[in-house]
Structures are given as C-alpha cells and as structure tokens.
Chains A and B, each alone.
Chain A
C-alpha cells in the first residue's frame, strides 16, 4: 500500500468516526447547522479523495450521501430517524470498503448492495424533500407517527416548491456549494420546517409543545435544542473535534511504545544510579536532578499516550440508538467525564468490555416502555456512562435505571447451573451473590437474543479488565437499576510494587492488591500461624485469614521455613489472603516487562522486571495465586464484616505522633514511606516533601517538637494522605495499627462528636487533613505551627 492510500485510509476513518458522532448528535439536535456542515465535510472529503485515487465504489456511494447531506445542510430537508438510519448504514458500508482496501488492497465487488444503498439515499432525498412541503401540524404528526425503523418512505404530497428549490439532479449536486444553492442556513426562513426539527426525535418531547411553538423554534434556530437533550460537553466535543487538527501531530503508536520502553529503561538506570552511593556531594545533586528530569519525562511520554475516553465513548450513541430500536425500548444515553484520559492500550482493552456492559444494560437492564410506565418510571430508560479519576485509577461506570438484578434469581440460576452448591448459595449475602454473575457460564437471560444472553458475558468482561490490572464491581438494586464499575489503572507500563524475597529470589507484588504487611519474628511463627488440618491460617484482628506459602506454591527447593517471615496481606478481587514470604525488600516503581508465552502459561506471573539494583524479579499475579490456592470470595469473612460495619464504623490508621495517638481515616491513606529526615524541606514555614515529582505539604508538628535537633540522617515515617483533590503528608513516629473506630455521641445531646473516634477502647482524635495549609497559601513568614488536634481527655 502506498503512503497516499494509507494516509487516505487514516483520514477517512477519522472522518467517518467524526461523522458517526455527529450523526447521533444530530438526532438529538436536528437543526444544528454546525453538525450538518461537519458531516457534510467528512463525506465530501472522502468523495474528493476517492475520485483522485480511483476508488469508484467509494466515490459513487459518498456522492449519493453527499447529495442527501447537501439538502440537509441547505435546510431543504430536516433530519429524521429515517435519514439518520440511512446515513449510518451508508457509513457502515463506507467503512466496509475502507477495510477491504486495507486488507485486500481493493474495494471489493458488490454492485447490488451499492445500487440498493444509492437508491435508498435517493428515495430519502425525494421522499423527504416533498414531505417537507406538507403543512406543519400534519407533518409533525406524520413524523411522530412514523416507525423509526421503517425503510425510506415516500410521500405523495405534491411539491409546492419552485423548481429552483427542488433537489438538484445527481450531476448538479456534485457541487453542492455552488452559489445557486439555498440561502445561508442561518437565516430563519431557511432553517427548514420547524415542526420537523422539533419532531425528529419522536417521543422525546411532548408533542403539543412542538406544535404550539414552531415560530419560536424557527427563530431560535441553531441554539434551540430540546431541553433534556444534548449535554453541553457533547457540543464542546464536537467543536473540539473539528478544531484541533492544526496543533496536533499524528504519531505512530509503535514509536510511542518504543519511547515508553526507553523511558522505562531510563527509570531503571536512574534507580540504579540513585542506589549507588558516592562520596562526591555533586553526585548526589546530579542524581537528584536526574531523578526529577526522569520523572518529568516519564510523565510527558505517558501523557502522549493518553487519549480521552471519548474515543471509546463516541461509539455508544450509535450503539444505544441501534439497540434500542432493535429491542423496541426507549433509551437515553448520558455521558460524563469524556475528557478523562487513559493510556491508549488500556483504552483499546476496555472497548469490548464496555460495549458488552452497555449492551447488557440495554438488553437486560432497561425494561420495555410499558413496563416502565407501569412501575411509575419515565418511559425512557437512562444509561449513563461516567468516567472519572480516583487516585491512580480511572473509574468507568455503566449505570442504568432499569430493572436491576434480582438477587433471588441469580441465586437460583447459579444453583441451577451448578456454579455453587445450594447450601453455599443460602449462606451468601447480596454482595457475594452479585459477584456470581462474573462466573463463566452464568447468564440469566430468559431468551437468547441477538444482543446478549449466551452465557459468555460478564466473565469475559471481568477477564478482559483484569488482564490489564483492573477490577470490575457491580452494584444492583432490584427495580432501581444496576451500576457496573470498571476500575482501570492509569498506565500499564510502570506500577508501584513491593519487592518480596522467597528462597533468595526476588518477586514483585503489585501495590494495588497489597493491603497490609505483618512481620512474624522467629519466636512468633510457630505460635501465630495456626493450622486447620493442612490449611494455614493467621488470626488478623481476630479473624482467620488463609495463608499461602510462596515457596511451596512455586515449589522452590531449599531449607525448611525460615524462623522469621513476613505476611503480605493481599486482596485480589475480593479474595483476601496472606502471602507468606521470607522477607521484604523496598517498595519500588517497576517497569513491567512482558514474559515469553511459555512462561505466561504458568499463570502465577504477570511479567518480569529489572530492579534498581540490576537484579531481575518476577511479578506475581495475586488473582491467579488466590484462585490456585482456592481462596474463595466466600471463605473470607472479613469482607462481609467490613460491609456490615461500614454503617457506623470506619477504619482508621492508628499512629503515634510524639507521645500522642491519632487516627487517620484509612481510605485517605495513600502510602506510608520511610524517608530520611533531611528530605523534609521548608517552603516558608511550611514543611514540604518532594514525593513522586510533586510537592507535598507536610504536617511535621509532632515530630519537630520531639527531635528538633535530631540527626538529619535519621529515618522518619511519613503517611501520605489524600485530602480532596490534593495529597498531604504527616510525619509520625510510629504506625501502630489499623482499627475500626466507632462514632462518639455527646452525652445528653446525642450529637456526633466530630474529630473524635473510639479506637481500641480509647478516645482518639482524628487528624484534620484540611488543616494542613496548601502550599501556595503559605504566608512567607508564618511562624505559627499547625497544631495537631489534641487528643481528647477521656
């Protein structure tokens, strides 16, 4: 394939993508001239180039489409579902031909199909051009009544238009921009019959409104849109899509991958350099500079690979439209957070799971309009796609306000399909039952439709999402709807991990699944690890946690268990277990290197990495280990307990600062780091810490009081917390425990005591993270310290 053709393919595909977005938008805002102009441009460009390259099929088809679009753009026709269906079908056909050109280097033959499509488009031109002349109220009614899925229909109403305003003949329409065309579309008179514009989304708006205010709609022309439709970002997206071409550059993904690899290498080299100690003070300085530049570079390259989720979302308006027509349901799609960015490869990876989830939501979730009305819901169902950041993850939610899932029915199906035993099913709580839908072979669809219900469903969604290190979670209320939550890591290539050692070998455990660490000293191992037959258990805060010995799992040869060991408590998709290892090394940001196919098959490894010290480490896959060891969702009771507790209890990180005890809400804790005290710097009076390339305001009060004149090389513990949008740090002398704290109420009034909680039978003050001032707001000479909330005297 020559460069010109390749360029053409890329451009055309982009054009068609844009066109698809615009077409579905057009259905919501039929009068939007910008949209029409945009669509027209896309088709016109394709037509122009194909003629030049000699693709005759493409040319003939896009020509026919252009004629129809010309009429729409000039206001001689108003878009209606038929026209949009026709244009979408045309688009699919163009796509098919482009694919042919790409794969078999030719357009392929399909005379009949082409002719049928061209005829369909011409019929749409004729039919609607004459229909447009019908008196308005009658027309509005006619369009509302029209079956949206019906093929092109022709109306016999005589044309009242002067000849010059008739649809141009095929030859003449080849130049739709010719001056003899209609007056500019902005003129109210040319904005087409307003009744048609309003009524083109049948049933979405009360009919009476359309009829009573045609003049208003005409005058408002472009800005007028149906009130409930067209969220502002859709419009913004449409504008930005057509306006960014000048400042962007098309870059081969291969090149970006290569750059990412090189940056990964640089990160490794940097890690090695930073671990090399040198007497030369300059070296340390240079090392730190290298550190910062590398971090920046890494971020930039990662950014270059980021794409907004709108790339994936953009296909859904079409999907929702087609599906709801096919299933005779009425569905409105809302999309939020389309600008949220995700690594390109991850975006590709969630495309299918997300499509599947949206299909499910419409097929299984949203009820038929009658059923909805009977339940007192609006006839039109709502599917909402939402993307947002949460820490180092992006959450993509698929929410529907449909029937929800019946816990009983899932329980029943799961037993029927022998996915769980009846006894087990009886013991399971709602959350566990819901998780059953992710098991292979589970499907509750009564009938297999063309859309879904073949039993390969949610398990594929989960597998695909887990493959990229993500998680899926479902929440459903019977009669109220379902929320499916995909939790996707921001990037694949570099992940924070804890390096553990087993039989002298390094292994990396992804931080994402690590919840806590327990160290057992030589004397404790025998007494603290308990055995139930051959199952090892550990009592974690009074609850039994299954243990997996890494060396036994991997059949590593060597001596019997070392006297002292560490337990890494992992949570892999709701399966909690303790991984027993010989020892812990440092946490490190590791670059994930893929493993050869023969090693991937082992299953326990998610990849390999090269550590800062130059050694290699295999990256463990906690999910696979949990599965292999038969750690089930159910056998771990702590998960349930956590859920039950959540109502009036919250988990806290109990820390000691100086001589006081304080509590940090556990969900705000991002990391716990050991750093030399010398790394704490000051911006004005505010202690700050450079952390992962960012500046972290620090609450250092407690410690600076204790060891003001301390040794600068002494290590200190910093708890990094999330406070709203920002991260803040707090130095502590010791992390004591994680515990659930109960709310306290004031005697007499019953008011909840804020800032206090009952932790391990002691009243403990909760650290107010908001009290740590923001960096930019620090007055240069503020001498006042930031007092830690004093521990309440019981």
Chain B
C-alpha cells in the first residue's frame, strides 16, 4: 500500500470482527474507546450491543457481531464512536487494528452473490495485497437507520 501516492489514497481504520477485516474511513471515526464498560439494555432491538459511557454521555452502541448474526464475543470489545442525526452512537467490534492507506482504484462494489443482509451493510471492499478489506459506511450502521431497515 505504501507505494501508492499519498494524494490518491484514503485512510481507513481497520477493525476485526471474527475472521473478517473491515475498514472504516478514518474521517468518520470520532474516537476509539478501548474495551469500555458496557451496560446491556433489556428488550432493545437485537442489533444494540449495549450502552457505553462516553464523555458524560450515554452512547447506544451497535454490535457488528449481532448485526451479522454471529455469536456474542467472549472477550471485551472495542468501541468506535460516530456521529449521526440523533447525536452520537457507538459500534462494538472485536478489536481495532492499524490505520491503512487504500486507493479508490482498489475498491470494488459488493458482489451480487453476497447475502442480502450483508449487501445492505457492506459498502464493497478494497483489494489489499493479500486479503480483502470490507468497506463499512457508518451511515448504514446508524441505529436510527437500522431500526427502520431491520425491524425486530
């Protein structure tokens, strides 16, 4: 990646959930919370992972695992903080990795064979040298949108 000229590249924050590597444009990420204390919310929509304390506010955090229908994580998760129309929200991921530089030229849309739910969540993928980096658009993970898109 490093040989690509800086002007044409985009910085994405890489996160891991299960075995898959995801990338989120770093410009959208307000903050990364390392393994914060969380509070489950009984009766919440299935995609809500819980509440997280963030700078005096109580954030609702979406769980990528739950969204993808995966088993709950066995170890504490990291949280990314994003902004949406309703204020702020969080996203639970297994772990946050390094910042990668990707080129728009390496980006391809979702394959037609992808399962419908993932079609709606993923925003294509970047072809890294040795693996794929699934692109996530925080807008699609906005709990307000999710509630409308995937009613319980």
A joins B in a complex:
yes
A: residues with CB less than 8 A from B are 261-262, 264-265, 268, 505-506, 554-556, 593-599, 601-602, 604-605, 607-610, 614-618
Q: Flag if A608 contacts B37 (CB, 8 Å).
A: no
Q: Flag if B39 contacts A615 (CB, 8 Å).
A: yes
CA distance A609 to B41 in the complex (A): 13
Q: Flag if B58 contacts A595 (CB, 8 Å).
A: yes
1/0 per residue B57-93: CB within 8 Å of A? 1111000000000000000000000000011010000
Q: Flag if A599 contacts B48 (CB, 8 Å).
A: yes
Q: Flag if B48 contacts A505 (CB, 8 Å).
A: no
1/0 per residue B119-146: CB within 8 Å of A? 0000000000000000000000001101
CA distance A506 to B58 in the complex (A): 15
Is B111 located at the chain interface by the 8 A CB criterion? no
What's the minimum C-beta distance from A628 to chain B, rounded to whole angstroms?
11
Q: Flag if A599 contacts B44 (CB, 8 Å).
A: yes
Q: List 20 A-B contacts (CB under 8 A).
A: A261-B56, A264-B56, A555-B42, A593-B57, A595-B60, A596-B59, A596-B87, A598-B44, A598-B48, A598-B60, A598-B146, A599-B44, A602-B41, A607-B58, A610-B53, A610-B58, A614-B37, A615-B37, A616-B53, A618-B41
B: residues with CB less than 8 A from A are 37, 39-45, 48, 51, 53, 56-60, 86-87, 89, 143-144, 146-147
Query: Which B residues are in CB contact (< 8 Å) with A609?
Result: 58
What's the minimum C-beta distance from A629 to chain B, rounded to whole angstroms?
14
Contact among B39, B40, B60 for A596, CB-based, below 8 A = B60
State whether A596 and B53 are in contact (beta carbons under 8 Å apart), knowing that A602-B43, A618-B41 are contacts in the complex.
no
What's the minimum C-beta distance from A500 to chain B, rounded to whole angstroms?
14
Query: Which A residues are in CB contact (< 8 Å) with B39?
Result: 505-506, 608, 615-618
CA distance A602 to B57 in the complex (A): 19
CA distance A11 to B61 in the complex (A): 43
Residue on A nearest B88 in the bound complex, by CB: A596
The 6 closest A-B pairs by CB, nearest first: A554-B42, A596-B60, A616-B39, A608-B58, A593-B58, A265-B56
State whether A604 and B144 are in contact (beta carbons under 8 Å apart), knowing that A261-B56, A616-B51 are contacts in the complex.
no
What's the minimum C-beta distance from A146 to chain B, rounded to whole angstroms?
55
State whether A556 and B42 are in contact (beta carbons under 8 Å apart), knowing that A608-B51, A616-B37 are contacts in the complex.
yes
Residue on B nearest A617 in the bound complex, by CB: B39
Contact among A505, A594, A598 for B40, CB-based, below 8 A = A505
What's the minimum C-beta distance from A494 to chain B, rounded to whole angstroms?
13
Query: Which A residues are in CB contact (< 8 Å) with B51?
Result: 608, 616, 618
Q: Flag if A597 contacts B42 (CB, 8 Å).
A: no
Residue on B nearest A592 in the bound complex, by CB: B58
CA distance A605 to B89 in the complex (A): 18
Query: Which B residues are in CB contact (< 8 Å) with A265?
Result: 56
Q: Flag if B144 contacts A597 (CB, 8 Å).
A: yes
CA distance A598 to B37 in the complex (A): 21
What's the minimum C-beta distance from A422 to chain B, rounded to whole angstroms?
36
CA distance A598 to B40 in the complex (A): 14
Query: Which B residues are in CB contact (< 8 Å) with A605?
Result: 41
CA distance A493 to B59 in the complex (A): 17
Q: Flag if B60 contacts A599 (CB, 8 Å).
A: yes
Residue on B nearest A609 in the bound complex, by CB: B58
Query: Which A residues are in CB contact (< 8 Å) with B37?
Result: 614-616
What's the minimum C-beta distance from A466 to chain B, rounded to whole angstroms?
21
State whether A598 and B53 are in contact (beta carbons under 8 Å apart), knowing that A614-B37, A616-B37 are contacts in the complex.
no
CA distance A554 to B40 in the complex (A): 11
What's the minimum C-beta distance from B64 to chain A, rounded to whole angstroms?
16
What's the minimum C-beta distance from B29 to chain A, rounded to whole angstroms?
18
Query: Which B residues are in CB contact (< 8 Å) with A610?
Result: 53, 56, 58
Most B CB within 10 A of own CB, among A265, A602, A609: A602
Query: Which A residues are in CB contact (< 8 Å) with B144?
Result: 596-598
Query: Which A residues are in CB contact (< 8 Å) with B45?
Result: 598
What's the minimum C-beta distance from A617 to chain B, rounded to whole angstroms?
7
CA distance A126 to B94 in the complex (A): 81
Query: Which B residues are in CB contact (< 8 Å) with A262?
Result: 56
Most A CB within 10 A of own CB, among B40, B42, B45, B59: B42
Residue on A nearest B41 in the bound complex, by CB: A599
What's the minimum C-beta distance from B90 to chain A, rounded to whole angstroms?
10
CA distance A702 to B20 in the complex (A): 70
Query: Which A residues are in CB contact (< 8 Å) with B41?
Result: 599, 602, 605, 618
CA distance A607 to B57 in the complex (A): 11
Excluding A596-B144, A599-B48, A617-B39, 13 further A-B contacts by CB distance (< 8 Å) are A261-B56, A556-B42, A593-B56, A596-B60, A596-B143, A598-B45, A598-B146, A599-B44, A602-B43, A610-B58, A614-B37, A616-B39, A618-B51
Most A CB within 10 A of own CB, among B41, B51, B143: B41
What's the minimum C-beta distance from A708 to chain B, rounded to whole angstroms?
45
State whether A597 and B86 are in contact (beta carbons under 8 Å apart), knowing that A505-B40, A614-B37 are contacts in the complex.
yes
Query: Which A residues are in CB contact (< 8 Å) with B143?
Result: 596-598
What's the minimum C-beta distance from A60 to chain B, rounded to whole angstroms?
42
Query: Which B residues are in CB contact (< 8 Å) with A616?
Result: 37, 39, 51, 53, 58
CA distance A599 to B42 in the complex (A): 10
What's the minimum C-beta distance from B13 to chain A, rounded to whole angstroms?
22
CA distance A594 to B89 in the complex (A): 13
